[in-house]
Structure 1
Amino acid sequence: MQEASPLPFRKMNGLGNDFVVFDARRQPVAMTEARARAIADRRTGIGCDQLIVLEPSKTADVTMRIWNNEGFEVESCGNATRCIADMLFEEKHATTATIDTKGGFLVAEKGGERLVTVDMGAPRFDWQDIPLSEKFHDTRYIDLFVGPVDRPLIQSPSVVNVGNPHCIFWVKDLDVVDLARVGPMLEHHPLFPQRANITLARVDARDHVTIKVWERGAGLTKACGTAACAVMAAGFRLKRLDREATITLPGGDLSLAIRESDGHIIMTGPVTYEFDGVLPAHLAV
Structure 2
Amino acid sequence: MPEQWPFIKMHGLENYFVILDRRDGSKPLDTEEIVRICSTSVGVGGEQLLTIERASDEGLRSGAYAAMRIFNIDGREVGACGNATRCMAYLLLEESGRDEVLLELAGGVVHCRRAGSMEVSITLGPISMDWRKIPLLREVDTLHLPIESGPLSDGAALYIGNPHAIFFVNQLDSVDMGRYAPAVQNADLFPEGANVGVAQVLDGQTLRLVVWERPGKLTRACGTGACVASYAALKRGLVTSKKIAVHLPGGKLDIELLQGDTVRMTGPVAFCCHGFLSSCK
- TM more than 0.5: yes
Structure 2: distance between partners of 1:5 and 1:39? 14
Offset of 1:263 from its aligned partner? 3.2
Select the residue among 59, 62, 77 that pairs with 2:81: 77
Match of 1:243 in 2: 242
Structure 1: distance between partners of 2:101 and 2:216? 27
Match of 1:162 in 2: 160
Contact 2:3 2:279 in 1 (8 A): no
Match of 2:206 in 1: 208
Is 1:172 aligned to residue 176 of structure 2?
Answer: no
Aligned length, in residue pairs:
274
After TM superposition, the score normalised by the length of structure 1 is 0.92
Structure 2: distance between partners of 1:103 and 1:218? 23
Could you list the runs of 5+ residues in structure 2 that have no partner in the other structure? none
Structure 1: distance between partners of 2:261 and 2:182? 31
Match of 2:143 in 1: 140
Offset of 1:27 from its aligned partner? 5.2
Offset of 1:52 from its aligned partner? 0.3
Is 1:186 aligned to residue 184 of structure 2?
Answer: yes
Opposite residue 146 of structure 1, the aligned amino acid is S
Structure 1: distance between partners of 2:110 and 2:216? 23
Contact 2:208 2:246 in 1 (8 A): yes
CA deviations 1:83-126 (Å, max 9, x no partner) are 01111111110011111111332111111111100011221011
Is 1:263 aligned to residue 258 of structure 2?
Answer: no
Query: 3-state SS of the aligned residue for 2:174?
Result: coil
CA deviations 1:117-150 (Å, max 9, x no partner) are 00112210111111110111x3111111013xxx
Select the residue among 115, 121, 143 that pairs with 1:117: 121
Contact 1:70 1:218 in 2 (8 A): no
Runs of 4+ in 1 over 6 A off after TM superposition: none
Match of 1:65 in 2: 69
CA spacing shift, 1:4–1:85, aligned 2, 3 Å: closer
Contact 2:196 2:213 in 1 (8 A): yes
Offset of 1:183 from its aligned partner? 2.4
Opposite residue 179 of structure 2, the aligned amino acid is R
Match of 2:229 in 1: 231
Query: 3-state SS of the aligned residue for 2:173?
Result: coil
Offset of 1:39 from its aligned partner? 0.7
Could you list the runs of 5+ residues in structure 1 that have no partner in the other structure? 148-152
CA spacing shift, 1:31–1:182, aligned 2, 3 Å: farther
After TM superposition, the score normalised by the length of structure 2 is 0.93
Is 1:106 aligned to residue 104 of structure 2?
Answer: no
Offset of 1:280 from its aligned partner? 3.1
Query: 3-state SS of the aligned residue for 1:229?
Result: helix
Structure 1: distance between partners of 2:47 and 2:2? 25
Contact 1:215 1:221 in 2 (8 A): yes
Within-5 A mapping of 1:13-32: 13-26=11-24, 28-32=26-30
Percentage identity across paired residues of the two chains: 34
Select the residue among 36, 44, 49 that pairs with 1:51: 49
Match of 1:275 in 2: 273
Structure 2: distance between partners of 1:33 and 1:199? 27
Structure 1: distance between partners of 2:152 and 2:89? 37
